[in-house]
Structure formats: structure tokens, C-alpha cells
Amino acid sequence: MTMAAALRRSTAALATVLVLALPAGAQEIAESHLKAARAAVSALGSTAEFDNILPQAAQALKNELINKNPDMVQLISQTVDKKALDLASRRGDLEKEAATIYAKVFSEQELTEIATFYTGAAGKKLLQDGNIAFRELAQAANIWQRGLARDLAQQVGEELNSKAQPQMGTSGQPPVTPPTANQ
């Protein structure tokens, strides 16, 4: 293989790696698809849990600076608050990123259906009370699991004892005692 051929192959391989390594955001997504994704993200409140990031960062910075410079409390508070407000406009960047992520995972039609459901009464109720239902389901499943384990142990113990009875005379072993569900 000539040096030129080796270089072409290496270049082609590198180009392939670079194309595959491009961030997913480099893929073209239709504006209507992004619009549907933004509607779904909004309906789901997908980014709401991140609303406190900037205020928490500002408060942490204030605390740190005030601890180092207690004589500058007012100036530090005013400066941090002003700069935090200036940065608040960047919250939209997270919304755009969330929409892009959802657009990559869901089709435009799926996003439209998600937004439609979660902006309706049933979807809003699910978002509001879904955690309560899940918590109660987890408790019910825990009780069910303990009962199932108890019944399994009891039934296996009974079966083993009934089959072990004819052998009792030869082995001299006591009957099998099933463990309790709490063991």
C-alpha cells in the first residue's frame, strides 16, 4: 500500500469517527418537531425541578463571599443579585436543550400526543397526584410481597412435612419448619 493510499484510508477513518462523534445536537430537527417537543416539555414540566439552580448558586456564592468579606454584605448581595438576574435569561437555553432531547427520543406525532394528554384534565391530575398513587402502590406491593413469601414458605413447609412423614421413622428428624416471612 502506498503512503497516499494509507493516508486516504486514515483520513476516511478519521472522518467517519468525527461524523459519528458529532454531538447529537448537530443533527437537523424540523422546527415543527421542536415546537411539538417544547409543548411536551412544557406540559410535562420537565425542567421545573431545575428552577432553583440559579437562586441556589447565587445564595451559595453570597454566603461564601460574605464569610470571606463580612464588611461587604450589602455590596455582595446587590452585586450577586444583579448578576443572577442578568443570567436568568439563560434559562431558555435549558428549555431549548430539553426540547432537542425530547425531539430526538420521540416523533413529532408522539410529542403532540404527549402534550395533548398532559395539558388535559387527566394528564394534569396524573402529574399532580401520580406520586401519591405510586407511593401507595409501592406500599401495597410491599405488603403483597410479604404475604406471598409467608404463604410460599408455609405451603412448602406443609408439603415437605407431608412427604417427610413416611420417612420420619427411619431418619428420626423432626418435621420441616417453614421460615416466617420476616426471616
- Return the pLDDT at 171: 56
- Return the pLDDT at 73: 96
- Return the pLDDT at 174: 59
- Return the pLDDT at 100: 96
What are the b/e assignments for 72-95, b being 16+ CB within 10 Å?
Answer: eeeebeeebeeebeeeeeeeeeeb
Per-residue pLDDT of the chain (183 residues; tens, 9 = 90+): 544 444 445 444 444 444 444 454 456 899 999 999 999 999 999 999 999 999 999 999 999 999 999 999 999 999 999 999 999 999 999 999 999 999 999 999 999 999 999 999 999 999 999 999 999 999 999 999 999 999 999 999 999 999 887 665 555 565 566 666 555
Distance between CA atoms of 105 and 103, rounded to whole angstroms?
A: 5
Residue linked to cell 409501592: 138
